[in-house]
Structure 1
Amino acid sequence: MIPILLIIPLAFAILSLLLPRKWTRTIVIPGLILQLGAALILCLTIYTEGPQDYALGDWQAPLGISLLADGFTVTLLALTALIAALCAIYALFFLERYNREQFYFWPLFWFLLASLNGIWLAADLFNLYVGLELLGLSAVGMVALTSERPALKAALDYLYAALFGSLAYLAGVALIYGAYGTLAIPQLSEMVAGNITTQVAVALMSVGLLLKTAIFPLHFWLPPAHGGALAPVSALLSALVVKASFYILALIWLDVGALAVTVSAAQLMGALGAGAILWGSWNAFKTPQVKMLVAYSTVAQLGYLMMLFPLAIGVSEAAATMAWQGTILHLLAHAFAKAAMFLSVGTLVLAIGHGRIADLGGVSQHMPMALFAFGLSAVSLMGLPPSGGFNAKWLLLQSAIQSGQWHWFVVIAGGGLLTAAYVFRIFRVSFTETVRHEIQATHPMLQLSALLLAFIAIGLGFASEWPLRLMDLTGGGTP
């Protein structure tokens, strides 16, 4: 199943380009079924038989290209397949009024999916770079789909940020290769020393990945790109794309370059996360556009991921374990909740014809399912029980207490209150204000897709043990 997960999306991307325009939609559902089925089969295989690797062409590392599947990577593969499937179903109905855009959307969608799968399965630093490049180009193309001036400007800013981030990452990879003669992650984990060369390499790669992840203060490109893109594109970008670069960042800091990082550097990463929570929440609270509110919320929620570094480096094993588990649960819960939130507000914007928060009055009566999906997503983002977001933040808080870092406890707890402050702006208007504009009918599948994702974000709170148990099956290529 390991190479199949790369072949399926690449094959459907090529088919989407070659087939007549009227057929591109007909192959979407079969492709999604195959992709989701392959991901689930691989999950079951890893759960029963343990981690596996695959050498392309039977050329073993370091000469050949190796792919690694363990409990963590298959969790991300299943997450990607499920969210992509529901976003694609939403896009089938949302893009009905976008004839030209949908023809280009589907090839880019499949290439993006192939890039993500390649990143999750890559077992060396250079193939991670290749996956990042393909992912960035696919995401930039999706942002620019409408060809409107704001979308094109946002896409260009995104492209420049992605290219600069890739160059910084590649410079660090070159230093690692020059120093150790290999880029295979399992080998580097045993060879890398904490010398100045490794520290410079880790610093270069970290800057590039922080830019790609849009961590404060390098987040300038994210709100226009995510807030201005089509709704299914915004959902994919916020739920999945920015997680890929964070995954590589965690891999480098906690595995490949663990001996080269310091406690003070980890505290600095935590400070960037705290800045992201405060700045993203403030901008979400004051923006007049509903999609920009959700986009700035992504900036804020990414800050919680950065809490991993100060809570897992230079602390006890118990505190580090809780920090790692809490971070992964937050990654999963945020992916489902943010995808649901973007799809639900995309439906609301489609129904009222624009995205001003002040004009959402009355949508609670006319579009209750979409607003309910938004509300469930908000429950997870705020960290309220019984959601997956609650379990994630609870573990992070426990890690902060266990390690004696009360300042991060305050940041994490305060971030939940800030999230409540800006999401309740939507509820106040929708429940207390009267209808100002004619609300158009939308296809029920638009609201149902968002609702299913939101239910999964809540349900993760009851089933958090499953992904955590699966992630314990590591193969030496994950933190």
Structure 2
Amino acid sequence: MIERLGLSPLTIQAESMVAVWVVLGLPLLLGAVGGLVRPARGWPVAMAGLLPLLALAWLWRDVDSEAGRSWMIEIGSLALYWRINGLTLILIALTYLIGLASALYTPAYLREDPQREPRGQAWFWPLLGILISSLSLIWLAVDLLSLYFGLELMGLSAVGLMLLTGKVDALVAGLRYLLLALVGSLAFLLGVSLLLGAWGRLDLAGLARAVEPGAPLWVAVALLSAGLLLKAAAFPLHAWLAPVHASAWIPISALHAGLVVKASFFIALQLWLVLVPEATVAAWAIGGMAGAAVIWGGVMAWRAAKLKDVLAWSTVSQLGYLLLAFPLLIGTDSAVAALAWEGTWLQLAAHGLAKAAMFLAAGNLILATGEIRVAGLAGASRRFPLSLLSFGMAAISLVGLPPSMGFTAKWLLLHAALTGGHWPWLAVLGIGTLLSAAYVFRVFRYSFIEDAPEYEFHPVPWGMDAIALLLALSALLLGLAMEGPLDLLRGAGEGS
């Protein structure tokens, strides 16, 4: 399974290397320009967003038919190791798609939000650029120094974005998030120090060959995992997530739920596959956390009174499906691992698109009705059918109904659990699907109350609805075109 991570020592062409630097650096440049110009309309953002997409398209053409490429960058005495393969391409494309959707949504959102902080717009664009670049670095890096650098940049920019509302509750939630993020970073750094002291290496390929079972390895993995799972809001380390989303701008919540928490999970799973690929008992312990996350998060989402809290608790629940990757990939046979590999990354992408669409659609409903409670949506179906349509189509993927991308992902995870005879994870998938349907249909039950009084509604601009709808359609219709992404995931380790 480790070969699928793209750790093989291949060379990269010069023009592809330029494209990689453009993919990493262009969001930073565009963010700085956005902070100076402060675009008030979506069309300049759309035009600027095409530039990194063109660089990604160049990389896609170069790597699409290849097993992948990896290379070393020497900076003085430091050696950094990066790679590009099918999985990396999918994750960078997901990052750009959700990042561009949030950037396009923000100018109109700031015009419509009566409680916006004017100075926040100037900081939004540079922080967004740092966030996109740091996420891209995390997807590319295969050494612990680059991963730590990307993780810290991502965390600090995410905290900065959360504080942009300028409200007291946002300040309290943001500072709590910062404190916990720093605790997670400290644990991660201690784990890295143990590995460096014991084996003198930071590159994942070298560590895969050098590490030996023993107390130093297990303590290092425990520290690394604790720090990363805290940052990922994995159960039971999730308590910070709902308050953070409750106080943040809607497009920032979409970015955070769709991308930020996934990066820490990605690093954690990658490290387990490299350092402890046969740790079956520990992986099943993570599976227990996954089951608890799916059930507890689903129940709390079903009980939540506020619409954003429903989506925040839903994120806790859906992250449980990703944690099932540990017991399905660690210590299992090749058939189970191959199915789980494909299902895990499709689930990550499906949840990212669906949850970003749901947050944007929910933001449209909140702005239009002035209500933050689920019960306050009564009668919204008569006035805002497009927002509810976007929410509903994204929910199809979130629940895992055909023909969505979420259905394909959950089917692969289900198939992996069946193939390996892992009956507890079958139960988790089934119960989680029922709970997802319960809290989604609760939102629609209130929205379709026909005898609700007529409130003074304020419809949002059509462009805000269109962005949420396009993301929801992506999550839904990509389920009909899964062969391309699956080919990329299957070919990631070929030739290694």
Residue 356 of structure 1: SS of its match in structure 2?
A: coil
**Is 1:82–2:121 an aligned residue pair?**
no
Equivalent-residue separation in structure 2 for 1:407 and 1:49 (angstroms): 37
Quick one: which of 468, 472, 475 aligns to 2:490? 472
Which residue is 1:102 aligned to? Answer: 121
**Could you tell me whether the CA contact under 8 Å between 2:343 and 2:413 is conserved in 1?**
yes
Whether the 8 Å CA contact 2:342–2:489 is kept in 1: the answer is: no
Instruction: Select the residue among 242, 248, 251 that pairs with 2:267.
Output: 248
Q: Quote the Cα distance in structure 2 between the aligned partners of 1:52 and 1:90.
A: 35
Q: Is the 8 A contact 1:330 1:393 kept in 2?
A: yes
Q: Secondary structure at the match of 2:20?
A: coil
Q: Aligned residue for 1:7? A: 25
RMSD between aligned alpha carbons?
1.9
1:91 is the counterpart of 2:106:
yes
Name the structure 2 match of 1:222: 241
Counterpart check, 1:155 vs 2:174: yes
Classify 1:155/1:430 alpha carbon distance in 2 versus 1 (closer, same or farther; 3 Å).
same
Tell me which residue corresponds to 1:315.
332
Answer yes or no: is the 8 Å Cα contact 2:38–2:121 preserved in 1. no
**Paired position in structure 1 for 2:86:** 71
Separation in structure 1 between the aligned mates of residue 43 and residue 410 of structure 2, nearest angstrom: 41
The Cα shift of 1:66 comes to 2.9
Contact 2:42/2:105 (8 A) holds in 1 = no
Letter in structure 2 aligned against 1:213:
A
CA contact (8 A) 2:294 2:321 kept: yes
Whether 2:67 is the aligned partner of 1:47: answer no
Letter in 2 for 1:328: W
CA distance 1:373–1:21, shift in 2 (3 Å): closer
- What residue identity is the alignment partner of 2:128? F
Distance 1:75 1:364 in 2: 35
Partner residue, 1:184: 203
| Structure 1 segment 330-349 matched on structure 2, within 5 A | 330-349=347-366
Counterpart residue number, 2:8: none
- Quick one: structure 1 residues 283 and 131, their matched pair in 2 at CA, closer, same or farther if it must change by over 3 Å? same
Match of 1:401 among 413, 418, 440: 418
What does the per-residue CA deviation read over 1:115-169, in whole Å, with 9 as the maximum and x for residues that have no partner?
1111111121111011111101111111111111111111111111111111101
For residue 195 of structure 2, what is the amino acid of its counterpart?
Answer: I
The one-letter amino acid paired with 1:221 is: W
User: Offset of 1:238 from its aligned partner?
Assistant: 0.3
Write the distance in 2 (CA, Å) between the matches of 1:393 and 1:160. 34
State the SS of the aligned residue for 2:309.
Answer: helix
Matched, 1:16 2:31: no
Corresponding position of 2:463: 445
Alignment gaps of 5+ in structure 2: 1-18
Shift of 1:59: 5.5
- Decide whether the 8 Å contact of 1:325 with 1:468 is kept in 2: yes
Structure 1 residue corresponding to 2:232, chosen from 204, 213, 216: 213
Which region of structure 1 is more displaced relative to structure 2, 89-98 or 197-206?
89-98
Residue segments in structure 1 that go unaligned for 5+ positions in a row:
none
* Letter matched to residue 344 of structure 1: A
Match of 2:159 in 1: 140
Q: Percent identity?
A: 45
Structure 1 distance, partners of 2:295, 2:484, is 32
Offset at residue 372 of structure 1 (A): 0.5
Which secondary structure state, in structure 2, belongs to the residue aligned with residue 123 of structure 1? coil
Deviation at 1:86, TM superposition (A): 1.4
- More displaced, 205-214 or 139-148? 139-148
> Deviation string for 1:328-376 (max 9, x for gaps)?
1100100000000000000000001121111101211211111001101
Q: For residue 480 of structure 2, give the secondary structure of its aligned residue in structure 1.
A: coil
Following TM superposition, by how much is the alpha carbon of 1:415 offset from its aligned partner in structure 2, in angstroms? Answer: 0.4
- Provide closer, same or farther for how the CA distance between residues 183 and 75 of structure 1 changes in structure 2, counting only shifts above 3 A: same
Instruction: Give deviations 1:230-269, integer Å, cap 9, x for gaps.
Output: 1100000000011100100110111x2134x521111110
Partner Cα distance (1:14, 1:106) in 2: 7
CA distance in 2, matches of 1:50, 1:196: 35
Separation in 2 of the partners of 1:470 and 1:192? 29
Compute the displacement of 1:23 (Å).
Answer: 8.3
| Mapped contact 1:360–1:435 kept (Cα < 8 A) | no
Match of 1:174 among 190, 193, 205: 193
- Please say if residues 2 and 42 of structure 1, whose CA atoms lie closer than 8 Å, have aligned partners that are also in contact: yes
- Which of 368-377 and 38-47 deviates more? 38-47
How many residues are matched?
472
Partner in structure 2 of residue 367 of structure 1:
384
CA contact under 8 A between 2:290 and 2:323: conserved in structure 1?
A: yes
| Higher deviation after alignment, 87-96 or 290-299 | 87-96
State how far apart, in whole Å, the 1-side matches of 2:33 and 2:145 are: 28
Deviation at 1:52, TM superposition (A): 2.3
- Shift in CA distance, 414/21, structure 1 to aligned 2, threshold 3 Å: closer
TM-score, structure 2 as length reference: 0.91
1:273 aligns with 2:290: yes
CA distance in 2, matches of 1:3, 1:473: 24
Q: Shift of the alpha carbon at 1:229?
A: 0.9
Residue pairs, 1:416-455, within 5 angstroms: 416-433=433-450, 434-435=452-453, 437-455=455-473
Match of 2:429 in 1: 412
Tell me if structure 2 keeps the 8 A contact 1:359–1:437. no
Asked if the contact 1:143/1:229 (under 8 Å) is kept, the reply is: yes
The answer to whether the 8 Å contact 2:32/2:126 transfers is: yes
- Kindly tell me: are residues 443 and 387 of structure 1, through their superposed partners in 2, closer, same or farther at Cα, counting changes over 3 Å? same
Q: Map Cα deviations across residues 145-197 of structure 1 (whole Å, 9 max, x no partner).
A: 11111111111111111111111011111111111111112222222222221
Tell me if the contact between 1:228 and 1:291 (Cα under 8 Å) persists in the aligned partners.
no
